[in-house]
Structure 1
Amino acid sequence: MQITETLNDGLKREYQITITGDDLEARVSQKLAEAQPEVQMKGFRKGKVPMALLRKQFGPRVMGEAMQEAVDGAMQGHLEETGDRPAAQPEIKMVNEDWKEGDDVVVSMVYEKLPEIPEVDYKAIKLERMTVTPAEADVDEALKNLAESAQNFATKKGGKAADGDQVVIDFVGKVDGEAFEGGSAEDYPLVLGSNSFIPGFEDQLIGLKKGEEKAVEVTFPEEYGAETLAGKPAVFDVTVKEVKKPVPAEVDDEMAKKYGAEDLDALKGQITDRLKAEYTGAARAVMKRKLLDQLDEIVTFELPPSLVEAEAGQIAHQLWHEENPEVQGHDHPEIEPTDEHKSLAERRVKLGLLLAELGQKNDVQVTDAEMTQAVMTQARQYPGQERAFFEFIQQNQAAQQQLRAPLFEDKVVDFVFELSEITEKEVSKDELKAAVDALEEE
């Protein structure tokens, strides 16, 4: 077996691997000899099938296996000897396509190697962590919002029903003059504007007073769940029995208990903790961006062109779909990455390789518990389909990697934070918000 370098250009490497016919023949003979004791064929006892017959029957398949094993072994041995780490799976091609049994096998192996990542003095990195102390006014505002969410409704004396009001109604729905199952109710509380009824129903109740009646004409949507009603016009005879206006809940111990707290002071404590967590998370995002900006500026190394090209294409494709949300599939013209896309791709590839190298050298690991938590968090976005989502993740390596990658990156970033020199800076909520908004604009 012989390996000859045929290209050495930047990170791109190409080698020619030659496997002699004698080597292949020896591999085939060994495989057949190992299999012979277990082979049974008509007319022969187990293990007594002649080698010539075995070769005729199984030779081509065994030759293919031997060839594949020889090439894989040569490639693996070469990578171990050189220390090269391919940026992607090496491309293997047969050179002598007119090969016949007995000839040497000549294949080419092409790949881009990952670059050598320079050492970085992370202790020399200086960062600033913004800190915000929740103000009493922020807690009071959160309590006010909770009170509005937990609102009650009080009788609206003599008033007309408006958007946001609650009307208590009796109604009977009819299609083609006949009442249908599930289309009637008494003393039904309906909040106007909640869009909980058929489109157009709630709008026609605005302006009505207690005691008034109205024939509400609507059409069931084409995609309505009941096939007997889908797309059909209907008339609902509605009687308004009461009109109520929304009244925010009192900010007291009773409201606190509705939200699972023992009393109002406990609820204030929970809100304060939540605000602290939100501010801490936002401040971390700002500091992470500053760290990545510094690393992008101070670290330089050659990037694998294939990785940059693939990343630029992905960025261009994603942004195109964000700008054309009406296009759901991928049946669209080819999207050519711009210089801006390529520049962003270079940054992402550089920082990705740098953080991956740092994490590997320092044995940064994503634990099973952290992965499970990430899967559970993601599954909550699919109510009612959590089990199916869990099974999908378990069976899909690519999906697992998509979840693991950001977890790994954040753990490496936290590792760098521990090495860096960080100073605390007390800021206002508005200053922190402005810093976060600036991240989204970049």
Structure 2
Amino acid sequence: MQVTETLNEGLKRGYQITISAAELDEKVTEKLLEAQPEIEIKGFRKGKVPLAMLRKQFGERVLGDAMQEAVDGAMSEHFEKTGDRPAMQPKMEMDGGDAWKPGDDVVVNVTYENLPDIPEVDLKGLKLERLVVKAEDAAVTEALENLAKTAQNFEKKKKGSKAADGDQVVIDFEGFVDGEAFEGGKGEDYPLVLGSGSFIPGFEDQLMGSKEGEAVEVNVKFPEQYGAAHLAGKDALFKCTVKEVRGAAEAQIDDELAKKFGAEDLAALKSQIAERLEAEYKGASRAVLKRGLLDQLDAKVKFELPPSLVEAEAGQIAHQLWHEEHPEEHGHNHGEIEATDEHKTLAERRVRLGLLLAELGRKQEIEVTDAEMTQAVLNQARQYPGQERAFFEFVQQNPQMQQQLRAPIFEDKVVDFIVEGAEVTEKEVSKEDLQKAIEALDEL
């Protein structure tokens, strides 16, 4: 087997691997002899099938395996010898392609971009600021008031009262399109809060001012992107009967409210809310501190970047931002999205910092534990109630998904390691100041 260098420009590498026909034939023979004791063919006892017959019957299949193993072995040996680490999966092309036939030498051209050497970074000079926010009484009270709103009850208004925004109407309804009732368009004793936006746009507005016992005809148009394709964009008439009008009665902020949310009393609920708020503040503060850290690291180190990684990252950024600007588009039938210079600049920063953190983590032997991965999978699985087992199996069979879950855990552990060695000062700020700092992150 022969490996010849064909390209060495910057981070680009190219090699030609030549496997002689004799070497390949030797590997095929080796594999057939290895399998021979377990093979049984009509007319021959198990393990006694002649090699010539094995070659005739299984040679072509074994040849493909032998060829793949030879190329993989050559590449593994090459990477071990050179220390190269491909930025992405190497591209492999076989000379001759479909014209290749048994008895020919196998010539494979391999190209890839090598990961760059990451320069040493002085982490001791890093100075970071951690914003600290206390859960003030006003914030706890605001959270309690919001909880009270979610726990509000609706009490029947006196007969003749007109339904207003925020009231609940109990209705019977039936929907018609082109004069025909449609499936799923009928309901009885349905409690609808006016202004909640839970029905088709315009539906709730037409029930404003209605009274108990009234029949109301509601004319609406289904959205173009409506879930049921046969109704999307169609005009519809809903015949409604208002059976009750109920007014909202907010729950009292007391021990009874606390018990509804699983707390022993109001004092315990306030304590739980304060803890939750401070946990949220700490998470936001960490995001600000992390950005400050990454900004300093980005200014400290420069090195050549693999173009393929930058291009892939820029494309991903462009795609993500496009969908954020077009939330109505859920699919991918939107044509090609061109990455701009701004996307490429951001991609360069992300790739550079990603490679730097990966190298720092490698040198410090930082790893993601099985327990941490299991917890990450559990957290994701909660988004699919009733399908947790299927999600677990999907992750187990999908290395790419495993990497998506592992990457942020690894990055956070590397960031924690760097922060531990940095000079960190704490600064107490208001909730509003922290919010402004978070908003500023999106502007960068």
TM-score, normalised relative to structure 1: 0.85
2:214 corresponding residue in structure 1: 214
After superposition, residues 162-177 of structure 1 pair within 5 angstroms as 162-167=164-169
**Structure 1 residue 384: deviation in Å?**
4.7
**Structure 1 residue 63: deviation in Å?**
3.2
Contact 2:171 2:192 in 1 (8 A): no
Q: 1:45 to 1:342 in 2, by over 3 A?
A: same
**Structure 1 residue 6: deviation in Å?**
1.9
CA offset digits 1:387-437 (Å, max 9, x no partner)? 443443333222222222212211211121112111111112221111111
**Structure 1 residue 203: deviation in Å?**
4.2
After superposition, residues 354-369 of structure 1 pair within 5 angstroms as 354-369=356-371
Q: Which moved more, 1:281-290 or 1:250-259?
A: 250-259
Please give the alpha-carbon distance, in whole angstroms, between the structure 2 residues aligned to 1:358 and 1:49. 56
Task: Say which of 349, 359, 378 aligns to 1:347.
Answer: 349
After superposition, residues 358-397 of structure 1 pair within 5 angstroms as 358-397=360-399
After superposition, residues 233-382 of structure 1 pair within 5 angstroms as 235-240=239-244, 243-382=245-384
Q: 1:136 to 1:196 in 2, by over 3 A?
A: closer
Output the amino acid matched with 2:165.
D
CA offset digits 1:96-123 (Å, max 9, x no partner)? 5665554443322211111111222222
CA offset digits 1:52-111 (Å, max 9, x no partner)? 343334333333333222222111111111111111222222235665554443322211
Please give the alpha-carbon distance, in whole angstroms, between the structure 2 residues aligned to 1:110 and 1:433. 48
Q: Which moved more, 1:123-132 or 1:400-409?
A: 400-409
**Structure 1 residue 154: deviation in Å?**
5.4
Aligned residues between the structures: 431
Contact 2:210 2:242 in 1 (8 A): no
**Structure 1 residue 286: deviation in Å?**
0.2
**Structure 1 residue 304: deviation in Å?**
1.0
Please give the alpha-carbon distance, in whole angstroms, between the structure 1 residues aligned to 2:272 and 2:113. 53
Q: 1:3 to 1:191 in 2, by over 3 A?
A: closer
Contact 1:224 1:231 in 2 (8 A): no
2:440 corresponding residue in structure 1: 438
Please give the alpha-carbon distance, in whole angstroms, between the structure 1 residues aligned to 2:168 and 2:104. 87
| 1:151 paired to 2:159 | no
CA offset digits 1:208-258 (Å, max 9, x no partner)? 45xx53112247998899x9xx99856444454xx5432332222222222
**Structure 1 residue 141: deviation in Å?**
1.9
Please give the alpha-carbon distance, in whole angstroms, between the structure 2 residues aligned to 1:49 and 1:382. 54
1:92 corresponding residue in structure 2: 92
Contact 1:11 1:114 in 2 (8 A): yes
2:113 corresponding residue in structure 1: 112
Output the amino acid matched with 2:371.
A
Q: 1:43 to 1:94 in 2, by over 3 A?
A: same
The 3-state SS of whatever aligns with 1:3 is strand
The 3-state SS of whatever aligns with 2:70 is helix
1:415 corresponding residue in structure 2: 417
Contact 2:202 2:220 in 1 (8 A): no
1:7 corresponding residue in structure 2: 7
Please give the alpha-carbon distance, in whole angstroms, between the structure 2 residues aligned to 1:219 and 1:383. 36
Unaligned segments of structure 2, at least 5 residues? none
Contact 1:19 1:105 in 2 (8 A): yes
Computing the radius of gyration over CA atoms, which structure comes out larger, 1 or 2? 1
The 3-state SS of whatever aligns with 1:345 is helix
Please give the alpha-carbon distance, in whole angstroms, between the structure 1 residues aligned to 2:227 and 2:62. 61
Contact 1:201 1:217 in 2 (8 A): no
The 3-state SS of whatever aligns with 1:302 is coil
Q: Which moved more, 1:145-154 or 1:251-260?
A: 145-154
Q: 1:153 to 1:2 in 2, by over 3 A?
A: closer
Please give the alpha-carbon distance, in whole angstroms, between the structure 2 residues aligned to 1:67 and 1:258. 68
**Structure 1 residue 353: deviation in Å?**
1.1
1:133 corresponding residue in structure 2: 134
Contact 1:174 1:183 in 2 (8 A): no
The 3-state SS of whatever aligns with 1:336 is coil
Contact 1:199 1:218 in 2 (8 A): no
Please give the alpha-carbon distance, in whole angstroms, between the structure 1 residues aligned to 2:60 and 2:380. 49
Please give the alpha-carbon distance, in whole angstroms, between the structure 2 residues aligned to 1:425 and 1:156. 52
Please give the alpha-carbon distance, in whole angstroms, between the structure 1 residues aligned to 2:292 and 2:334. 37
The 3-state SS of whatever aligns with 2:124 is helix
**Structure 1 residue 127: deviation in Å?**
0.6
**Structure 1 residue 368: deviation in Å?**
3.1
1:51 corresponding residue in structure 2: 51
**Structure 1 residue 174: deviation in Å?**
10
Q: Which moved more, 1:272-281 or 1:53-62?
A: 53-62
Please give the alpha-carbon distance, in whole angstroms, between the structure 2 residues aligned to 1:40 and 1:381. 51
Contact 1:150 1:248 in 2 (8 A): yes
Contact 2:175 2:186 in 1 (8 A): no
Computed over aligned residues only, the root mean square deviation of the Cα atoms, in angstroms, reads: 3.4
Output the amino acid matched with 2:315.
G
Please give the alpha-carbon distance, in whole angstroms, between the structure 1 residues aligned to 2:354 and 2:173. 63
Output the amino acid matched with 1:284.
R
Unaligned segments of structure 1, at least 5 residues? none
1:27 corresponding residue in structure 2: 27
Contact 2:217 2:238 in 1 (8 A): yes
Contact 1:96 1:107 in 2 (8 A): no
The 3-state SS of whatever aligns with 1:261 is coil
TM-score, normalised relative to structure 2: 0.85
Please give the alpha-carbon distance, in whole angstroms, between the structure 1 residues aligned to 2:338 and 2:198. 45
**Structure 1 residue 195: deviation in Å?**
5.5
1:121 corresponding residue in structure 2: 122
Please give the alpha-carbon distance, in whole angstroms, between the structure 1 residues aligned to 2:173 and 2:334. 49
The 3-state SS of whatever aligns with 1:333 is coil
**Structure 1 residue 375: deviation in Å?**
2.8
The 3-state SS of whatever aligns with 2:135 is coil
Please give the alpha-carbon distance, in whole angstroms, between the structure 2 residues aligned to 1:152 and 1:48. 84
Output the amino acid matched with 1:339.
D
Percent identity for Structure 1 against Structure 2: 66
**Structure 1 residue 271: deviation in Å?**
1.4
Output the amino acid matched with 2:326.
N
**Structure 1 residue 201: deviation in Å?**
6.3
Q: 1:12 to 1:265 in 2, by over 3 A?
A: same
Contact 1:198 1:218 in 2 (8 A): no
Please give the alpha-carbon distance, in whole angstroms, between the structure 2 residues aligned to 1:159 and 1:434. 44
2:76 corresponding residue in structure 1: 76
**Structure 1 residue 35: deviation in Å?**
3.4
Please give the alpha-carbon distance, in whole angstroms, between the structure 2 residues aligned to 1:295 and 1:85. 23
